[in-house]
Amino acid sequence: MGTPTTSAVKSMLEHAQTPLLMPYTGAEFLRKKPKFKVFNLRASYLDEAKEQINHLVDELGHSKIALLIQADEFGITLQKSLTTALRMKGLAPQAIGRFRRNTNEVEKALNQILQSEATAVAMVGTYEPLAEFIRLSQQHKKQLAFTTVSFASSEGLLSKLSHPSQLMITEVVPNPASCKGNICDNFRALLNAQSQPLTHAIFEGYLNALVFSRAAKMCPLPFNNNCVLKALQNVINQDLELRHLFKISPTQKKLPIFRSYHT
């Protein structure tokens, strides 16, 4: 789980040639010909960044977009993706504010962004500092538009916001509370029976387990790495229920982006 932790085990994966299955990160180094075998179910952070910038620029009309970046490898990775997405629109970050990992110390970053002419902020971090950033910006009566990525936990972030905000969160799985089909129905029934909350993160974990279990049934014991990796891709390519759930067309190579809003 996470970009820094996944990066930390790269050398071990390369040495052992152990496949990495469905990591909970959209980091680009897992998609640009890594030196070990990896199967990514979720969309990349670059895909999420493009969706956010398209939303801010094409749909809302913003051209002065600042970045709020958590100061670690997760933040650096997404800063690169967001900067790339802005460059594709002929733009550059209006300002870049940073805060330390595992803290809610966002005041300095907020002041830096408020001193710029930014009208929107693409945020990278966990949900508590992002919620604090939005809350403080509202105290300054600054009407900013916000975006952030799936890793932030949309349910956690939205639960921390007490006032309306123009916030869009990119998601890598459909809304578990409203999606349709047997997979969604079974997931909701399972969690309701266990009195567990319906969250995007738990749904992603459920889908990871579902895809792996279906792939495992395609391979004889003892498991062969190549068989499992091929079977995982076959599940995505051939399972009509999954393709319908993720809205994957027959020619589509990547899983799509979904959205959550707070207005």
- Cα 177 vs. chain centroid, distance in angstroms? 18
Please tell me the distance from the alpha carbon of residue 34 to that of residue 15, in angstroms, as a whole number.
Answer: 12
List Cα–Cα distances, 110 to 67, 97, 115, in angstroms.
10, 7, 9
- Average of pLDDT values for 52-72? 97
CB-based contact 165:262 (threshold 8 Å): yes
Please tell me the distance from the alpha carbon of residue 222 to that of residue 184, in angstroms, as a whole number.
Answer: 31
| pLDDT for 252 | 67
**AA identity, residue 104:** N
Q: Which H or E run contains 54?
A: helix 45-54
Q: Which tens digits make up the pLDDT trace of 160-188?
A: 998 999 999 999 999 999 999 999 999 99
Sole residue written with tokens 């498991």: 223
- Average of pLDDT values for 257-263? 90
Tokens linked to 254 = 């990547």
List Cα–Cα distances, 72 to 99, 134, 135, 183, 209, in angstroms.
9, 20, 23, 36, 29
CB-based contact 26:172 (threshold 8 Å): yes
Tokens linked to 181 = 């089909």
- Nearest Cα neighbor of 172 from 60, 9, 39, 42 is 42
| pLDDT for 152 | 82
- Average of pLDDT values for 190-201? 93
The rounded mean pLDDT for the chain is 93
Report the predicted TM-score, pTM, of the whole model to 2 decimal places: 0.92
Q: Which tens digits make up the pLDDT trace of 6-51?
A: 999 999 999 998 899 999 999 999 998 899 999 999 999 999 999 9
Whether pLDDT at 249 is above 90: no
List Cα–Cα distances, 71 to 30, 31, 74, 154, 231, in angstroms.
20, 22, 8, 20, 38
List Cα–Cα distances, 216 to 55, 194, 209, 221, 229, in angstroms.
38, 26, 10, 9, 10
How many C-beta atoms lie closer than 10 Å to residue 31's C-beta?
16
Q: How confident is the model at residue 109 (pLDDT cuts 50, 70, 90)?
A: very high
